[in-house]
Structure 1
Amino acid sequence: MAITFYYTSCPFNKKIVTQQNKIEQVLEAKRVNFIKIDIASNAESKEEMRTIMGDDHGLAPQICNGNVYCGNYETFAEANEVGELFDFLKLPNPVKEQS
């Protein structure tokens, strides 16, 4: 199953652009299979994201594994920094599996 990366093509500040770019870069570098869904161009996707999050006012960027909410940029960045990205994404860690 692929990770779902909810983003917006119409961010209201540069911080969001930076966060979205960082998420995409890290996922690509770690070779994580993911799909990007633009909530700015699809109201149904925005509602789906908010339902999974359990927050009627949630904003992008957000990350999910199927219908399981993983977290926002801050929790993503923290997990990546401490080496727990795959746990955060609810994926098997390929490094641990090779040991």
Structure 2
Amino acid sequence: MGTIRVYYTSVSGSREVKQRQAEVLRILDGNRLKYELIDVSVSERLLQEMRDKAGDPDAVPPQICNGEDYCGVRRRGRLGSKARGL
């Protein structure tokens, strides 16, 4: 298993983004999974890296990867199917 990476932003005016980020971290912490936080607000390069991995030029945080494999993002109250299998 690779390193779980959570792309997030420490600077957001969106309540929805903040809530989704908090829920993703609660789920990972609740399952005692180790992960690396990558703050896309510090670098345009990191934001572009997140969007490239997601395959969506408009993707917003949070996005989850396991190693180099894109796992998805939380939608409608649940993690994406790949993310649930972490």
- Between 1 and 2, higher relative CO (CA 8 Å, sep ≥ 6) is seen in 2
Query: Over aligned residue pairs, what C-alpha RMSD do you find?
Result: 2.2
Match of 1:77 in 2: 78
The reply to whether residue 32 of structure 1 matches residue 11 of structure 2 is no
> Aligned equivalents of 1:76 and 1:43: distance in 2?
28
Q: Which has the higher helix share?
A: 1
SS of equivalent to 1:31: coil
- The residue aligned with 1:56 is 57
**4+ residue runs over 4 A deviation:** none
Contact 2:73 2:80 in 1 (8 A): no
C-alpha distance in structure 2 between counterparts of 1:30 and 1:57, whole Å: 29
Q: How many residues align?
A: 84
- In structure 2, distance between residues paired with 1:78 and 1:43: 25
Letter in 2 for 1:72: V
**Unmatched 5+ residue regions in structure 1?**
90-99
Q: Structure 1 residue 79: deviation in Å?
A: 5.4
Identity across matched positions, percent: 30
Structure 1 length-normalised TM: 0.73
Larger radius of gyration: 1
